[in-house]
Amino acid sequence: MKIFYNIRIRYACEYQFMAKQLTITEIARLAGVSAGTVDRILHNRGKVSDKALAAVEKVLSESGYRKNIHTSAVGLRKGFSIAVSIPNSDRGEYWNAILNGINHALDEFSDISIDCKLAFYNQFDIYSCRAAFESIPEMKPDAVIIGASFPEEATSLCLSLDRKNIPYILVNTAIPGSFPAASCYADQEACGKLAGKMLYLIGSTPPQPGKHAEYAILDSSLSDTCTRQQTAARKAGIREFFSRAGIENCLREITMPAMNPAESERSILEFIHAHPLVKSIAVIGPRGYIAADILARNGIRDVPVLAFDLTEGNRKGLQAGMISAIIDLHPELQGRTAVKAAIKHLLYKTPEKNISHLMPVDIIVAENLPYCKNIFLE
Amino acid sequence: MKIFYNIRIRYACEYQFMAKQLTITEIARLAGVSAGTVDRILHNRGKVSDKALAAVEKVLSESGYRKNIHTSAVGLRKGFSIAVSIPNSDRGEYWNAILNGINHALDEFSDISIDCKLAFYNQFDIYSCRAAFESIPEMKPDAVIIGASFPEEATSLCLSLDRKNIPYILVNTAIPGSFPAASCYADQEACGKLAGKMLYLIGSTPPQPGKHAEYAILDSSLSDTCTRQQTAARKAGIREFFSRAGIENCLREITMPAMNPAESERSILEFIHAHPLVKSIAVIGPRGYIAADILARNGIRDVPVLAFDLTEGNRKGLQAGMISAIIDLHPELQGRTAVKAAIKHLLYKTPEKNISHLMPVDIIVAENLPYCKNIFLE
DNA sequence: CTGTTAGCGCATTCAC
DNA sequence: GTGAATGCGCTAACAG
């Protein structure tokens, strides 16, 4: 938007005035044509004389006109339909936060009538994912929001949508080789670097003499392909931080069989006792609170835990002091941004494609936890 | 908003459908009255029979109706005028970020025609503040956004606006005894606690044997009354963190005469040499990078600096490694939230008053700096 | 008290 | 090719 500064000094203060938005009627008047002609030009649906076109484009470029998407939607007198396919998840879990963001955005834009169809699938069941993805084109949506767990299935859905010329937006993960209208995700390797720094910081407290310190990365093994790629990127980021900081050879790794509590507990405790120099643990998967709980129940209080994702469990772990810090990838913001991108794409008819919306990554500790939930309250 | 879940199982996935928004005409039809009557009820501008009122309210409550603020603004066929009075500041400074947030929101809501008049004043010149504040009522604005530096002047402006029944929104600082439509600010004491934790964390790296560690709070003295109140709250927060953590008697304070570079440098260096146990410094004012620069130029590399506010200078200091962490109070979000609150207040005719919008507080380090700017990109 | 009416910015249809 | 006319959700003025 253009802002015209009309500054004059008075007393000791300056005044600015915002420019008024021009309307289509106004543009038409200035160009000496009718509103209908301007509209035809804006939507390039033909049958306009070169003379009229030149006149209108001149006014358009000089005035910095932007159409009012809300009245535009009213004029269209039809809603849009958006299909969403993401993994199912319980309240307080990661994918549920993305869903919250989507719902929030639909709410925020409730004046644009949007019919949103959701097809959930089981993150660990490739067949349910195929079924969900196959049902998407059948819905004949105007746009699709895709949260991928299985790369091949996602790619095939993207290609199918490309063929049908239906725009789609990716959340949480980018899919190489696809041509989304937009993708909304956090840079996992950057998250890893941030995690590395926090792992290092929380692990150095309180200072202790002698011996060099060690830091642990805990990976919970059960997960789908996309999640594994993400955790690999996080791991690489952590290594990158330590390597850049010149702290070599201090990272230890441990895997936790996520679906076997007894075995998990055994291997974590064994690891801790075998590695007394470990000063802090980063839990790469979303279940930091489970590892933290195991440590707490076994009286291990001097090994702070760093977790990923502000899930219900991690949040409670942070409040209880069992978790020291959480890296937040803003899943709600991802969902919200995806819906906004879809609306933009549908209402502005000639939008750019393949826009990457990189999420902010935040460190949540006990002190700022109470303030971190209302980022996009209305 | 009400969401109706219309779930049916198919393949292995669930479908949900969003509810359609009802229109005023639809409400009128359901209640057996005309649209005009519904409108009168929605804006309680009287002359409605009890019977009609009851019928409409019934439909209203059952349908969870929410009016479309954008077409509403169109129907009003008039723009609103908002006056903004905040301290002047250069690009990249704190108040400029608030202004950015305001401009961003005006842009986001450019379809609602808003005429925004800005009256800047000099943060350190009470006379310019009086002049700016006195000019506000003259503008006859529909709503006012106030950024206060001088409590008395702000209070008097608030009272004057109260008398005239003009809603106002406070940014950055709350003003006791006023009745704003909303206030948008960060909890400074909470920021202090967060700063305390970070000060402690960055100060404990690398671990060192013997002697207990000390931590410093650096206060730059030149500032207006409101800022002094804020820095006092931050200081209290830092003390609170250390006291709760059971780390007693380890905080040292130093004041820096902000307008005297030579004197600042002298007193900081003197302080550092007199306090060799100091492990890290929190700069309470917005000019952390100046202190950081003094340390860097004098070869003091083992005392990490914690700063407040993502100003241009602090941002560069962080990138250059002279500053270790920055506490961000999201000034842009404050400005944006203020405008949104104003719009809400003006368009929904019966809004609640005195809503506190508490900002999130974030820790910015080198690793997440590149991702922290686009929180509310459209 | 109430329904009707006109008009806002936009998109579309339909004569000319 | 083009402008006029219509309708969307909403508000406000007006006539009964």
Residue with nearest Cα to nucleotide C5 C1': B36
Report d(CA B174, CA B359) in Å as an integer.
Answer: 13
**Beta-carbon contacts below 8 Å between A and B:** 222
pLDDT, tens digit (0-9, with 9 covering 90-100), for B335-369: 999 999 999 898 887 667 888 999 999 999 999 99
Q: To the nearest whole percent, how much of chain A has pLDDT over 70?
A: 90
Q: How far apart are CA B291 and CA B279, in angstroms?
A: 15
Confidence class for position B226, pLDDT limits 50, 70, 90: confident
Contact residues on chain A for B333, CB-CB shorter than 8 A:
375
Phi-psi region of A321 (alpha: psi -120 to 50; beta: other; left: phi over 0): left
Q: What are A80's strand-pairing partners?
A: A114
Q: How far, in Å, CA of A33 to CA of A50, rounded?
A: 12
Question: Does the pTM exceed 0.75?
Answer: yes
What is the distance in angstroms measured between the alpha-carbon CA of A152 and the sugar C1' of C12?
42
Q: Which residues of A touch B302 (CB under 8 A)?
A: none
From chain A, the residues in CB contact with B1 under 8 A are: 106-107, 110
Question: CB distance from A17 to chain B under 8 Å?
Answer: yes
Residue A365 and residue B360 in contact, taking contact as beta carbons nearer than 8 Å:
no
% pLDDT > 90, chain A:
66
Flag whether residue A155 sits within 8 Å of chain B, measured between CB atoms: no
- CA pair distance A247, A204, nearest whole angstrom: 13
Report, as an integer, the average pLDDT of A206-234: 81
Question: What Å value separates CA A20 and C1' D12?
Answer: 23
d(CA A116, CA A133): 15
Q: Identify the residue whose Cα has the smallest distance to the C1' of D2.
A: A37
Nucleotide nearest to A65 (CA to C1'): C9
pLDDT in tens, B298-339: 999 999 999 999 999 999 999 999 999 999 999 999 999 999
Residue A129 has pLDDT above 60, yes or no: yes
Secondary structure (H, E, C), chain A: CCCCCCCCEECCEECCECCCCCCHHHHHHHHCCCHHHHHHHHCCCCCCCHHHHHHHHHHHHHHCCCCCHHHHHHHHCCCEEEEEECECCCCCCHHHHHHHHHHHHHHHCCCCCEEEEECCECCCCHHHHHHHHHHHHHCCCCEEEEECCCHHHHHHHHHHHHHHCCCEEEECCCCCCCCCCEEEECCHHHHHHHHHHHHHHHHCCCCCCCCCCEEEEEEECCCCHHHHHHHHHHHHHHHHHHHHCCCCCCEEEEEECCCCHHHHHHHHHHHHHHCCCEEEEEECCCCHHHHHHHHHHCCCCCCCEEEECCCHHHHHHHHCCCCCEEEECCHHHHHHHHHHHHHHHHHCCCCCCCEEEECCCEEECCCCHHHCCCCCCC
Whether the CB of A135 is below 8 Å from some CB of chain B: the reply is yes
Tell me what the mean pLDDT of segment B51-58 comes to.
92
Nearest nucleotide by C1' from A37 CA?
D2
> What token pair was written down for B95?
């108040």
CB contact under 8 A, B360 and A368: yes
Mutate to test the interface with A, among B25, B70, B214 (most CBs of A within 10 A): B70
Output Rg (C-alpha) for chain A, integer angstroms: 26
B186 touches A: beta carbon within 8 Å:
yes
What residues in B contact A128, CB-CB < 8 Å?
11-13
pLDDT of A186 over the 80 cut: yes
pLDDT at B356: 92
Within 10 angstroms of residue A283's Cβ, the number of other Cβ atoms is 28
- Backbone dihedral region for residue B115 (phi beyond 0: left; psi -120 to 50: alpha; all else: beta): beta
Out of A14, A131, A186, the one facing B11 most closely (by C-beta) is A131
Spacing of B90 CA from C8 C1' in Å: 39
Structural contact between residues A369 and A318, judged by C-beta atoms closer than 8 angstroms: yes
The pLDDT of residue B118 is: 93
What pLDDT score does A348 carry? 79
- Segment A199-206 shows an average pLDDT of 81
Q: How far apart are CA B118 and CA B132, in angstroms?
A: 9
The per-residue pLDDT for A341 is 92
B132 touches chain A (CB under 8 A): yes
Q: What 3-state DSSP class applies to B316?
A: helix
- What mean pLDDT value characterizes chain B? 88
CA angle in degrees (0–180, nearest 5) for A251-A367-B284: 100
Contact B374/A358, CB-based, under 8 Å? Answer: yes
Evaluate if the CB of B360 falls below 7 Å from strand C: no
Integer Cα distance of A96 and A115 in angstroms: 19
| Cβ atoms of A342 and A184 closer than 8 Å | no
Report whether pLDDT(A68) > 90.
no
Task: Tell me which of A26 and A17 has the higher pLDDT.
Answer: A26
Q: Which of these, B61, B49, B59, lies nearest to B26 by C-alpha position?
A: B59
B212 touches strand D (CB under 7 A): no
From CA B242, how far away is CA B341, in angstroms rounded?
36
Least Cα separation, residue B262 to chain A (angstroms): 31
**In sequence order, what DSSP letters do the residues of B216-236 get, joined into one string?**
EEEEE----HHHHHHHHHHHH
- Would the CB atoms of A209 and B206 count as touching at under 8 Å? no
pLDDT tens column, B70-114: 899 888 877 889 999 999 999 989 999 999 999 999 988 888 888
Residue B63: pLDDT band with limits 50, 70, 90: confident
Q: In chain B, positions 232-271, which contact chain A (CB-CB < 8 Å)?
A: 241
Protein residue at shortest CA distance from C1' of D7: A75
- Bridge partners of B217, per DSSP, are B253, B282
Closest partner CB to A119 (pick from B15, B79, B209)? B15
